[in-house]
Amino acid sequence: MHKEFILRKAWNTLEDLVMRRSKLEMYIDILQVLAHHEPLKLTHIMYKTNINCSVLKEYMEFLIKQGLVEEKTVGKRRVVYAITQRGRTAIEGFRELRQVLPIIEETENEMPLPY
């Protein structure tokens, strides 16, 4: 019974990890979409990142304040968003970090299970 509980808890934790993205992961997703498809309207970013509109607006505001994204007006009223050079530098930093992370994950996987 104890093993079943541990396995169930581990499975639920794994499902949470697979299903949910952290704020950082969502910021990175937004930056990557803009790096590949800029400039974009908010609705296009929303569809490409799979982030709901109200959350996306909050995240875009943060990215703009950090100087990673800029808001541009095209024509009289069309608002689009583009990644800045600082945003491109941030993406590159995350790519480098991802190259290091598998080493950390391999070390954690070598640890014996508690049961």
What is the per-residue pLDDT across 12-59, written as a single tens digit (0 to 9) for each? Answer: 555 555 557 889 989 999 999 999 997 999 999 999 999 999 999 999
Does the pLDDT value for residue 75 go beyond 90? Answer: no
Identity of the amino acid at 56: L
10: confidence class by pLDDT, cuts 50, 70, 90 = low
Q: Where are the domains of the chain?
A: 21-109
Q: Which two tokens stand for residue 34?
A: 């803009």
Residue 1 pLDDT: 47
Q: Which two tokens stand for residue 62?
A: 């943060």
CATH for the 21-109 domain, from 3.40.50.450, 1.10.150.120, 1.10.10.10, 3.30.43.10: 1.10.10.10
Does the pLDDT value for residue 8 go beyond 60? Answer: no
Cα torsion through 1, 106, 92, 74, rounded to 10:
-20
Residue 99 pLDDT: 82
